[in-house]
Amino acid sequence: MRQVPNIAGLGLVLFFAAFPLVYTGGNYDYVMHVLITGFFYAILASSWSMLAGYAGQFSFGHMAFMGIGAYGAALFSHYFYITAAPTGTCTEFAFFGNWLVIKNAIGVTSTTLTQDCLQQAITEWGDSVRVWRMPVLLGIVLGTVAGGLSGLLVGLLVLRLRAAYLALFTLGFSEIIKAVISAEIDITRGQAGMVLPALFDDGVTILGTEFTRTDKIPPYYAMFGLLLLCLLILTWLARSRFGLFVRALREDADAAAALGVNTTRYKVFVFTITTAMAAAAGAVQAHYIQIVTPNMLFLLQMSLVVAMAVIGGVENFVAAALGAIFLQVMLELMRTSFSIGGVTVDMTTWRLVFFGVLLMVVLRFFRNGLIAPLIDYFARAGVAEETIAKRRAGEAQP
Amino acid sequence: MIHLKVTNLHKSFGGLHVLKGVNLEVNGPELIGVLGPNGAGKTTLTNILDGAITPSSGTVYLNGQRIDQLQPYEVARAGLGRTFQVTRSFRRMTVLENLYVPALALGHMSQGRALTERATEVLEFLTIDHLRNEYARALSGGQQKLLELGRLLMLDPDVIILDEPFAGVHPKLMEVIYAYIRRMKAEGKAIILISHQMDAIFALSERLIVLNFGELIADGKPDDVKNDPAVIEAYLGRDDEEDAA
């Protein structure tokens, strides 16, 4: 009985692993896109669940860290190049026999510059000098590190903040990041957004099958793999002393400290780990959709992640991840409008109402979500019987 | 050899002078009762000893290490553990998990059979072993008091501060707490017992200290303290007519 969640989990992993290979229904690319987006939100919801549900740190800045990862990868791929010869105009450094070139920022409204320094050099060079983009994977790693370091900094800043104060602080941080990205048009291109190379820009071959940059299977497995990696790390952490200590921190930070737990270290640690995961998801998503804009950081997006975690079950990161995938799929399925008695119900709008009602019902009647209690039910099967049996055995003793 | 030394401890909150030059020394395994009316400064003294708040002035040394500027987790690792006046169990964690926290935090045990066996031994002693896999929130108030004591057993500190351990506890469970305190004493711990339960504190303590308005007004054997005029006055008040006469 207690193994049911593990068996169900393994079944789900196998299902999602096989799905792109066996799915034969229509709208293949659209269905894959919905699931890739679902996995993206699942990473955000599960990492937020570790932060808020396990450690009790109700941060509303999770999307800001996702944005830092996304923009970190975008800025890196946009500004950094390797060239075989110096441009003479860009900022550049000798780099293992080639040149590391950093392009100048020209924004989107410059009236004096129509080309950046590298583009001018390429125009002059023609095909005589080779120019390489930076590896996408390196950009994702750097975006992840940038997000994690930002999380470390914020974790240190919010050490003494709890509950609503922590939520407001992180919300403010998120708005600042969004405002800075919007304002620094020269560097970030503001609301125009930044275009990134595809996740597999030159295509990829998997098990002898060649995929182009627009095929959905490679990004599907990339995002799914990242989700599994995050869930494995979270599982390992939750089962280690880290998981025990952050839950103690959530329950009562003062009592945990009085029992020898370095609450400062674990609070900062949980911020760093979970924000790095959000940043990794953002970086991969940015390369998948190939554009980043400040709209990614809208408060509505954060609310969506929170709702997904709450509906799945905020105190269980697997439930939060499943809640995210479930909601993403449901929100897409509910796009289909229908008529009742000649009255057309425009579901593109009404689906959000259903979503809101579902959230309210869950908060009112299912405080730990819809999926987490199921997992808990099976995982704790037999505990009550064991308690009763032990108590009776104790009473029977002379 | 356990040695706790509190010297000239002062604590003010704004204009309120809560502790006024408290001196206290604990040498070796002792069972010290702390008495005082509400507002005497007992909880403030406890909070300073465990690092939750820092004193305005004065020092606290434990086994030669100054602890009054340390964080609570550092104080716990230095060898001082406490319970709280209002029970603070980790409610959404199981009873076993509650016990694992201090043992793993100190790093003297790792996850595995030895840790479970130690926790089981503690739970059996406290008569709540049957609740080991239940969430702490499912326990009664008295059982949660026992769970807090169990966490201290897992922490294994040199000095134990018990803040109102008998408050709201059924007489049957009080017997378990009595046994707990005697066991700790037998294991060589120094125990500082804060309670308003006079019967319990006089039955258990070898030494009593009394605080009143932030000052230590008595320190001695229970019988001597019981008859100390300053203590009687603190608890019963001054008879103005008698004074006038």
The complex scores an ipTM of 0.90
Smallest Cα distance from B67 to chain A, Å: 13
The partner residue sitting opposite A387, judged by closest CB among B77, B97, B134, is B134
pLDDT in tens, B68-116: 999 999 999 999 999 998 999 999 999 999 999 999 999 877 888 899 9
Confidence (pLDDT) at B100: 96
Q: State whether A387 and B81 contact (CB < 8 Å).
A: no
B28 phi and psi angles, rounded to 5 deg: 70, -170
Q: Does A116 touch chain B (CB under 8 A)?
A: no
Q: Does A55 touch chain B (CB under 8 A)?
A: no
The residue that leads in pLDDT, A50 or B230, is A50
Integer Cα distance of B126 and B178 in angstroms: 11
Q: State whether A258 and B52 contact (CB < 8 Å).
A: yes
Q: Report residue B169's pLDDT band, with 50, 70 and 90 as the boundaries.
A: confident
Q: Does A367 touch chain B (CB under 8 A)?
A: no
Q: State whether A394 and B127 contact (CB < 8 Å).
A: yes
Integer Cα distance of A296 and A299 in angstroms: 9
| Interface list for B 92-111 with A (CB within 8 A) | 92-93, 97, 100-102, 104-106, 111
Confidence (pLDDT) at B77: 95
Confidence (pLDDT) at A288: 96
Name the CA dihedral angle for B137, B141, B145, B150, rounded to a multiple of 10 degrees.
-40
Q: Does A383 touch chain B (CB under 8 A)?
A: yes
The partner residue sitting opposite A247, judged by closest CB among B52, B89, B93, is B93
- Rounded to 10°, the helix A317-333/A28-48 angle is 150
Per CB-CB distance under 8 Å, the chain A contacts of B73 are: 257-263
- Asked if pLDDT for residue B242 goes beyond 70, the answer is no
The partner residue sitting opposite A255, judged by closest CB among B88, B127, B133, is B88
Angle at B183 between CA B180 and CA B185, to 5 degrees: 110
Integer Cα distance of A261 and B72 in angstroms: 9
Confidence (pLDDT) at B239: 61
Question: In the numeric block, which tokens belong to residue B24?
Answer: 């206290």
Distant-in-sequence, close-in-space partners of A292: CB < 8 Å, separation ≥ 6: A67, A70, A71, A74, A193, A194, A196, A286
Confidence (pLDDT) at A132: 94
Smallest Cα distance from A135 to chain B, Å: 41
Smallest Cα distance from A197 to chain B, Å: 46
Return the residue in A54, A251, A252, A259 with the most chain B beta carbons within 10 A, the one to mutate for interface testing: A259
Integer Cα distance of A90 and A116 in angstroms: 9
Give the pLDDT mean for B194-206: 87
Confidence (pLDDT) at B245: 46
Per CB-CB distance under 8 Å, the chain A contacts of B97 are: 244, 247
| Interface list for B 127-186 with A (CB within 8 A) | 127, 129-131, 133-134, 151, 155
pLDDT in tens, B11-49: 999 889 999 999 999 998 999 999 988 888 999 999 999
Q: State whether A259 and B52 contact (CB < 8 Å).
A: no
pTM of the predicted protein model = 0.90
Confidence (pLDDT) at A333: 87
> CB–CB of B63/B78 below 8 Å?
yes
Confidence (pLDDT) at A375: 92
User: How buried is residue A102: exposed, middle or buried, by Cβ count under 10 Å (0-12/13-18/19+)?
Assistant: middle
Distance of CA A20 to the CA centre of its chain: 21
Region of poorest pLDDT, from A208-222, B42-56, B197-211, B221-235: B221-235
Distant-in-sequence, close-in-space partners of B66: CB < 8 Å, separation ≥ 6: B59, B60
Q: What is the mean pLDDT of chain B?
A: 89
Nearest to B155 by CA among B96, B110, B100: B100
**B166-202 burial string, b = 16+ CB within 10 Å, else e?**
beebeeebbebbeebbeebbeeebbbbbbbebeebbe
Integer Cα distance of A125 and B232 in angstroms: 99
Hey, how many other C-beta atoms are within 10 angstroms of the C-beta on A147? 31
- Asked if pLDDT for residue B158 goes beyond 90, the answer is yes
Q: Does A260 touch chain B (CB under 8 A)?
A: yes
Pairing of strands A80-83, B80-82: unpaired
Q: Which residues of chain A register pLDDT less than 50? A: none
- Round the CA-based radius of gyration of chain A to a whole number and report it: 24
Q: Does A264 touch chain B (CB under 8 A)?
A: yes
Residue with tokens 């320094």: A117
Q: How many helices (H) and strands (E) does chain A have?
A: 16, 10
> CB–CB of A152/A268 below 8 Å?
yes
